[in-house]
Structures are given as structure tokens and as C-alpha cells.
Amino acid sequence: MRQSIISIRASSLGELFDCPARWAAKHIDGKTLPSSGAALLGTAVHAGTAVYDSSRLPGGTPVSADDAAGAVVDAIHHPEQEVDWDDDKPQEAERIALALHTRYCMEIAPHQEYAGVELSCERLEIADLGIALTGTTDRVRKTADGHGISDIKTGKTAVGADGVVKTAGHAFQLGVYELLAEHSSGLAITAPAQIIGLSTGKTVASQRSGIGEVNGARQALVGTEDSPGVLQHAARLIQSGDFFGNPRSMLCGEKYCPNFGTCRYRR
Ligand code: SF4
């Protein structure tokens, strides 16, 4: 009998291994949570920078950072999903998102040459594993070493006070983006993956930008006969249906897990 194909979003792969029960609640049972103010701030930065970079693709008409900033404001004030602002405020999120948008346009974008922006990648089905990979790759860039993917990450600790971008823990996700980008665009992705970090601090001094590189992001995904890769482990876990919980997860809390109120693994 042919096994059913289950989709895995690139951005959810880390969560599958962090707490399989939380992953299944969201991605199989379809349970949702309101977005957070921090997540919406990230969405807003993605929206504004995408307008700016898209306008600079071949054949486009470049817009200014100020003009592209309209997309930042729209994303904050007209969110597509419910937002739980908690202690955050939309005005504060707008102020920080606009500052980071400008910083990206002035400090990062001039050094990049993009071949694709917000590339919605076709579903990549891996039939023998019973999974399909999906996701949107933030950027495909051209470099002297060929093409590579770039992923924009916002967050309080995205860039340290020493200017170093936090790259640990993102390799699986970047590896999936590489596979998807290659499948979708037909371009060989041979350059290192980039994380473009933007720190969401409240003060100007703590709103930092930077770039970190991750080499060999795909290597851990695809295993060998003797040593299964991350995708094989993910497929086995999903096909087993044994979605155990991890109450020691950093995200085991009502803000992050739709199962929190009823989860038997917390008892
Ligand atoms: S409540 Fe905790 S252990 Fe249970 S599914 Fe959610 S994150 Fe996992």
C-alpha cells in the first residue's frame, strides 16, 4: 500500500524534533494560536524589504527605502491573522520594524545581488520517504561562487553585541530552503547559505544588522545507507505517528503551544 505523503514546512522542521506533539497539533491537526507581536514585527520587516529588493530585480523599477516602508506599516496595522500583543504595542513594533527596514536597505541590500526574492518554492515530494517539503525562500543571491540562499531572521538575539549573527540551530531549515530553491528555480545552489540577522532591540544601539554564513546546510539533511539524515529521521517519526511530547522544550507554554491546556506529557 502506498504511504500517504505528509507535507513539512521548512520553518517547522526544527519544531518537529523539539516537540513532535506540538508539531503534530499545529501541522497535522491544524490547531492555531494567535500570532505574537514579535512575529508580526518580523513579518513586517520581511514585507518591506521584499518590496525594496523585488524592485531591484532585473527589469524592475527601484523604489526608495521610504517608499517600500509602506509595506512595513501595512503589515503591522492590517495583519492577516489574529495577533496577541500581550505587553507589546503596535506603535512600538512599527517603530522598531521601520528602523530595521531602513537599516537593511542601507547596510545589507547594497552588498547583495539577488536572483530571486520571496521565492515561493514548489512542493518537493520525496516519495520514498513519504514526505513533501514546502516553504518560501527569502532570497536567492548571486555570488562569485555561484548561487546561494539568504534567510532574514529577526529577533532580540539575532545579532549579538559583538556583531556576530546567531546561526546555530538553523542549518536544517536552511538546507531545506536550498533544496526547494534548487528544485523551483533550476539554479544550482552552491554558495554557502546566509542568515541576515536583524536585532529587534528597543534602542538604536541594540538594533543591529549582520550576516552569518552556514556551510554545508544540506549535508545533515540527506543521509547515507549507514547513517540516516535528518529527513529520514523526520519521515520515520511522521510515518510512525508516535508524536511524543517534550515538556522540557523552551516553547512548552500556552503562548507557543496549542496543546498546552490538555497535554498529557506535562503531567
Ligand atoms: S504542552 Fe509542551 S509537551 Fe505538550 S505538546 Fe505542547 S510543547 Fe509539547
Q: Which CATH number fits domain 6-266: 2.40.128, 2.20.25, 3.90.320, 1.10.10?
A: 3.90.320
| Mutational pocket test of ligand 1: of 15, 32, 252, the residue with most ligand atoms within 8 Å of the beta carbon | 252
Please tell me which of 33-42, 99-108, 179-188 the model is most confident about, judged by mean pLDDT: 99-108
pTM for the model stands at 0.91
Contact by Cβ (8 Å): 165, 158: yes
What local confidence, expressed as pLDDT, does residue 2 receive? 54
Could you tell me which of 127, 37, 30, 49 has the C-alpha nearest to residue 81?
Answer: 37
Domain extent listing, the chain: 6-266
239 CA → ligand 1 middle, Å? 20
245 CA → ligand 1 middle, Å? 5
Q: Model confidence over 208-242: pLDDT tens digits?
A: 999 999 998 888 888 777 888 999 999 999 999 99
Q: How far is CA 54 from CA 9, 50, 65, 135, 149, in A?
A: 23, 6, 12, 18, 15
Contact by Cβ (8 Å): 55, 77: no
Q: What is the average per-residue pLDDT within 93-111?
A: 97
32 CA → ligand 1 middle, Å? 14
Measured between alpha carbons, how far is 109 from 24 in angstroms, rounded to an integer? Answer: 37
Quick one: which atom of ligand 1 is closest to the CA of 249?
7
Q: Which three cell numbers stand for residue 97?
A: 520594524
Res. 260: pLDDT tops 60:
yes
| Buried residues in 143-164 as b, exposed as e (16+ CB within 10 A) | eeeebbbbbbbbeeebbeeeee
Res. 93: pLDDT tops 80:
yes
Could you tell me which of 158, 26, 57, 60 has the C-alpha nearest to residue 100?
Answer: 158
